[in-house]
Chain A
């Protein structure tokens, strides 16, 4: 536990708490929506992407993700899930897709 009370130490403590909270096979979900970003979970790391997106959509619609304002119209249809290992443990990053191309509309 960091002892000098700086902001950096507080951040380190938060990461440590998050790592300690995770059990084997679990991951936090990181969500980006409407210019805001927040974590929710933990969930099983191997959860199917569609399931993760459903959880996230429901949580954002009802204000269940700390750091993200409730948005009843939130729609994660065109989002993707990246599974990454971070300093704070495994994370499922839910972000907008960014491919381009294909047939014209």
Chain B
């Protein structure tokens, strides 16, 4: 990331109190503060499943009528890289997916994190399946990520806090939601149409 004010690369995350949300970043050179997306990265090529020669995108699908979990891989600038709606998803589960891992691995240098939805409303908490997946992915990539969980009316952000392997902390009620959250909710309740993920 580079600071838009002084072009410094020394940008650090400055966690805020839960009431204001842990979303801000601060330039250590000039003190400029902003949401992460306002600090720009050099253009980086995003790798899609199609680039990987994976023509079987695991039947990414839209399901009819019932809310289903869905996910999105998010890049450093806050941009959606890959929408994840695999075959076999349910209202309570996103199944394991070699394609999702390939997308995470090949985009690891431009990756900020992954978000998934929990259909329904209220404050979303990670499940045991979630946190063991968070820990496994971070150990594979060799880097910590941001993990968001969205319900119909709330968004939480989960990050490793340590010291234990599964010691993750959850923040609620950020002051503003990233733009992709609305689209993620839409993907969770959308009726069937194109049968493939979007990039």
Residues on A facing B (Cβ under 8 Å): 32-36, 74-75, 77-80, 82, 93, 95-105
Q: Least Cβ distance of A80 to chain B in Å?
A: 6
Q: Report the Cα distance A33→B97, complex, angstroms.
A: 18
Q: Which of A36, A98, A102 contacts B101 (CB 8 A)?
A: A98
Q: Does B1 contact A (CB under 8 A)?
A: no
Beta-carbon contacts under 8 Å, B100-121 to A: 100-101, 104-105, 108, 116, 118
Which residues of the partner chain A approach B94 to less than 8 Å between Cβ atoms? 99-101
Which residues of the partner chain B approach A96 to less than 8 Å between Cβ atoms? 101, 133, 136-137, 139-140
Given contacts A34-B140, A80-B96, A99-B97, 10 further A-B contacts (CB under 8 A): A34-B139, A35-B141, A74-B139, A96-B133, A98-B97, A101-B69, A101-B93, A101-B130, A102-B127, A102-B128
The tally of residues in B whose CB lies under 8 Å from a CB in A reads: 35
Q: Does B165 contact A (CB under 8 A)?
A: yes
Q: Which of A74, A75, A82, A102 contacts B93 (CB 8 A)?
A: A102
Q: Which of B101, B104, B116 contacts A100 (CB 8 A)?
A: B116
Q: Does B132 contact A (CB under 8 A)?
A: yes
Q: Does B80 contact A (CB under 8 A)?
A: no
Q: Does B129 contact A (CB under 8 A)?
A: yes
Q: Least Cβ distance of B188 to chain A in Å?
A: 12
Q: Does B135 contact A (CB under 8 A)?
A: yes
Q: Least Cβ distance of A78 to chain B in Å?
A: 4
Which residues of the partner chain B approach A80 to less than 8 Å between Cβ atoms? 96
Q: Report the Cα distance A77→B118, complex, angstroms.
A: 25
Instruction: Tell whether, in the assembled complex, residue B92 and residue A101 are in contact, meaning their CB atoms are under 8 Å apart.
Output: yes
Instruction: Tell whether, in the assembled complex, residue A95 and residue B127 are in contact, meaning their CB atoms are under 8 Å apart.
Output: no
Q: Does B125 contact A (CB under 8 A)?
A: yes
Q: Which of B97, B129, B137 contacts A101 (CB 8 A)?
A: B129
Which residues of the partner chain B approach A36 to less than 8 Å between Cβ atoms? 142
Q: A97-B133, A100-B69, A105-B126 are in contact. Are A75 and B97 (CB under 8 A)?
A: no
CB<8 Å pairs between A and B, sample of 9: A35-B140, A35-B141, A77-B132, A97-B133, A97-B136, A98-B101, A100-B130, A101-B93, A105-B131
Instruction: Tell whether, in the assembled complex, residue A100 and residue B136 are in contact, meaning their CB atoms are under 8 Å apart.
Output: no
Instruction: Tell whether, in the assembled complex, residue A98 and residue B116 are in contact, meaning their CB atoms are under 8 Å apart.
Output: no
Q: Does B98 contact A (CB under 8 A)?
A: yes
Q: Does B95 contact A (CB under 8 A)?
A: yes
Instruction: Tell whether, in the assembled complex, residue A95 and residue B165 are in contact, meaning their CB atoms are under 8 Å apart.
Output: no
Residue with the highest number of chain A CB atoms closer than 10 Å, among B98, B108, B125, B139: B139
Q: Least Cβ distance of B65 to chain A in Å?
A: 19
Q: Report the Cα distance A35→B137, complex, angstroms.
A: 10
Q: Report the Cα distance A105→B169, complex, angstroms.
A: 12
Q: Does B12 contact A (CB under 8 A)?
A: no
Q: Least Cβ distance of A98 to chain B in Å?
A: 5
